[in-house]
Structure 1
């Protein structure tokens, strides 16, 4: 049995291959559930005019914070990408990498490390950005719902937090 060509990467047991497929399916379902919860949160009203004014100020402040955070983190990411790329020159590629890629093993491993880090950093940033923005969207809706029902307010807040968790599961 060879699902998705995984046996050539050392995953020869059917359980191992199905586990990888299960992880991919779970990630996809997590992203779908996050999208569903997003719609559930956003359907609630945004409250009174004064609530919306405070919410808008919080949103502007959070946008400034996220923008500044991005400007601070991007140079660090770039530095780490270069360091990971160059780290392949500190130690020889593994026997498996040399068998798989031959004479180009060092360059392929270097690019693979750098690209994997960029993907990880991008998805981490995406989860943080979307999570913060969802928390901001939920805050005014939860405050508005608290005027009617503690349960409704708590549900909105819980769903917003669950969205970040599902994004972490789906993209992490």
Structure 2
């Protein structure tokens, strides 16, 4: 069985064996997602520390979720506009069914954006919960440092596996469904992942700086507390908001995987 993946300026023939490689890549993507799920269970199974620690972590989680949901509502407007533009703009090269290719490009733009949003949201949700568990593990008198490092690395591994798994699975799905028109549809998939990741990263960076400046003003100007002393409050909100922007900043890697 032979399938042709046409690219602008030439064609790349995908024979039966090459199609097998695509299927193997999809299986690898599913395995990566399975590893991510296993790491999530391992992280969440660890201790959560004292009641006071859980109360503080709950406040951080609530603020992080509110920020991310508000950002997603704003980004939804840009996603709708981009979907319309991708459908209106012409496709590259000669296609037997240009309308279906445009629909696929727009649809997989949404898929890429959803994958990117899921990675950022899942990364933030797990990071705000893992922070509590890392602190709780580090309090142990023996082996606390090693346990805390293990939880932290597993948390980062979840986002890494999700990025590779979803990016690779989406690309394989496009190739299997659209064959010769896959390069055009992949443009939409990669653009969707990159666009949402860029907005999350830039918007989160602005929000982080605003929180940093606000915390400094409260501590130094209103309360008269030098920033270098142990009594200064800014490290807490600054660290919390840094988590809010760092976690959603991971999805840009997803867009690079789809290229």
When the two structures are superposed, what TM-score results if normalisation uses the length of structure 1?
Answer: 0.86
Gaps of 5+ in 2: 6-12, 168-259
Q: Which residue of 2 is the match for residue 94 of structure 1?
A: 93
Instruction: Name the one with the larger helix percent.
Output: 1
Equivalent residue for 2:49, pick from 22, 47, 50 = 47
Cα drift, residue 7 of structure 1: 2.0
1:77 aligns with 2:79: yes
Query: Would you identify which runs of 4 or more consecutive aligned residues in structure 1 move more than 6 Å?
Result: none
Q: Which residue of 1 is the match for residue 19 of structure 2?
A: 17
Equivalent residue for 1:136, pick from 128, 143, 150 = 128
CA distance in structure 1 between the partners assigned to 2:71 and 2:148 by the alignment: 30
Say what the alpha-carbon RMSD is for the aligned residues: 1.5
Which structure's relative contact order is higher, taking Cα pairs within 8 Å and 6+ residues apart? Answer: 1
SS at match of 1:76: helix
1:7 aligns with 2:9: no
SS at match of 2:14: coil
1:158 aligns with 2:190: no
Show CA shifts across 1:105-157 (max 9, x none). Answer: 22111101101101111111111111110111111001100011101001101
Cα drift, residue 52 of structure 1: 0.7
CA distance in structure 1 between the partners assigned to 2:101 and 2:23 by the alignment: 24
CA distance in structure 1 between the partners assigned to 2:4 and 2:39 by the alignment: 39
SS at match of 1:94: coil
Q: Which residue of 2 is the match for residue 102 of structure 1?
A: none
Q: Which residue of 2 is the match for residue 124 of structure 1?
A: 116
Cα drift, residue 8 of structure 1: 5.0
Cα drift, residue 53 of structure 1: 1.2
- Count of residue pairs the alignment pairs up: 157
Show CA shifts across 1:150-171 (max 9, x none). Answer: 0100110110111011111111
CA distance in structure 1 between the partners assigned to 2:103 and 2:112 by the alignment: 14
Gaps of 5+ in 1: 99-104
